[in-house]
């Protein structure tokens, strides 16, 4: 396979053991394969069966279509940000939510790094221009929360900028909710071995290799740094008006179903079928910094 990025062999401290990981080796190490699903304290020992997933997902996607029609008619504004470590499943979840929605009023925002002009503006400014107008749904694949994690870790933001962001973000988000936007914040949480497995899958799948970036590779040895920044972010920016919904995402199927259920449960819309939505699994979905402690 063509070498697209520098992918060095790394030694990782996992559970007090030093593990050698070569992402270029086509064979996934047994210790990754064996521990991936259970990593990070995941509560299930098997993935949700595909047939079960497809049946439940279809019912939920029908409800999403009904919800969108009602949102269009009522002029409601709905916005969600999806955050998480690299390979947590943000893009796939957004794709699943949007698959059968009218793209004219359901938009995905996945911004590249700031331009020189944007870098000189108020930090939130380039995101605000993508916010929903009446009748729209906007889904952010990463958001202003770059400043809470990747930017300070990778040296793109100073400690002072990081601390300032954590201070002002809750006020900024409270204003959005007070203005009538239905606002969701999702943190997709995965275990370390699961992240390694997904990185490896991307490296050796010609249809997915574009998803593996130099930043992903650089993050391989920064698990602890990202964990600390995540915990601080959840502590400082979880609020009553704009709470964090934390999702155990080692099994993408369970994660997607429960995220959609949460959105549908939280919005009033014409023709809502509560039986079709079903019950949220509280082993998969929790709230705030103490979600799964």
- d(C-alpha 185, C-alpha 133), whole Å: 19
In the structure, what pLDDT confidence band is assigned to residue 186 with cuts at 50, 70 and 90?
very high
Residues 5-34: tens digit of each pLDDT: 556 688 898 888 899 999 999 999 999 999
What would you report as the CA-atom Rg of the chain, rounded to the nearest whole angstrom? 19
Above 70 in pLDDT, residue 203?
yes
Mean pLDDT, residues 167-186: 98
In the structure, what pLDDT confidence band is assigned to residue 258 with cuts at 50, 70 and 90?
very high
Mean pLDDT, residues 263-292: 97
Helix count and strand count (H, E) for the chain: 12, 8
pLDDT score recorded for residue 215: 85
Quote the CATH superfamily of domain 10-287. P-loop containing nucleotide triphosphate hydrolases (3.40.50.300)
pLDDT score recorded for residue 6: 59
pLDDT score recorded for residue 292: 83
Residues 75-116: tens digit of each pLDDT: 999 999 999 999 999 999 999 999 999 999 999 999 999 999
Mean pLDDT, residues 129-157: 97
- Tell me which of 220 and 192 has the higher pLDDT: 192
Sign of CA dihedral 48, 51, 54, 56: negative
pLDDT score recorded for residue 191: 97
pLDDT score recorded for residue 3: 45
Mean pLDDT of the chain: 95
Residue 199's closest CA among 182, 180, 216? 216
Q: What percent of the chain has pLDDT over 90?
A: 91
Residue 190's closest CA among 29, 41, 20, 34? 41
Residue 23's closest CA among 156, 250, 211? 211
The DSSP output letter for 235 is H
pLDDT score recorded for residue 5: 53
pLDDT score recorded for residue 1: 37
């Amino acid at each position: 396979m063509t070498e697209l990025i520098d992918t060095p062999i790394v030694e990782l401290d996992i559970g007090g053991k030093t593990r050698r990981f070569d992402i270029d080796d086509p064979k996934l190490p047994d210790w990754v394969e064996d521990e991936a699903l259970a990593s990070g304290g995941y509560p299930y020992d098997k993935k949700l069966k595909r047939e079960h997933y497809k049946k439940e997902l279809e019912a939920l996607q029908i409800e999403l279509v009904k919800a969108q029609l009602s949102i269009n008619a009522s002029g409601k504004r709905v916005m969600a940000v999806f955050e998480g470590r690299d390979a947590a499943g943000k893009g796939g979840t957004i794709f699943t939510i949007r698959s059968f929605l009218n793209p004219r009023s359901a938009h995905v925002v996945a911004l590249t790094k700031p331009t020189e002009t944007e870098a000189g503006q108020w930090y939130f400014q380039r995101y605000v221009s993508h916010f929903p107008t009446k009748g729209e749904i906007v889904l952010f694949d990463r958001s202003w929360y770059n400043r809470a994690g990747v930017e300070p870790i990778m040296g793109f933001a100073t400690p002072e900028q990081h601390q300032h962001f954590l201070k002002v973000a809750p006020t900024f988000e409270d204003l959005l909710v007070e203005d009538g936007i239905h606002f969701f914040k999702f943190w997709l949480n995965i275990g370390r071995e699961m992240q390694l497995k997904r990185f490896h899958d991307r490296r050796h799948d010609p249809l997915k290799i574009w998803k593996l970036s130099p930043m992903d590779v650089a993050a391989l040895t920064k698990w602890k740094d990202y964990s600390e920044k995540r915990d601080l972010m959840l502590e400082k920016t979880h609020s009553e008006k704009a709470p964090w919904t934390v999702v155990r995402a080692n099994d993408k199927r369970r994660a997607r179903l429960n995220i959609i259920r949460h959105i549908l449960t939280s919005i009033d819309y014409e023709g809502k079928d509560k039986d079709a939505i079903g019950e949220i699994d509280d082993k998969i979905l929790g709230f705030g910094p103490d979600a799964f402690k």
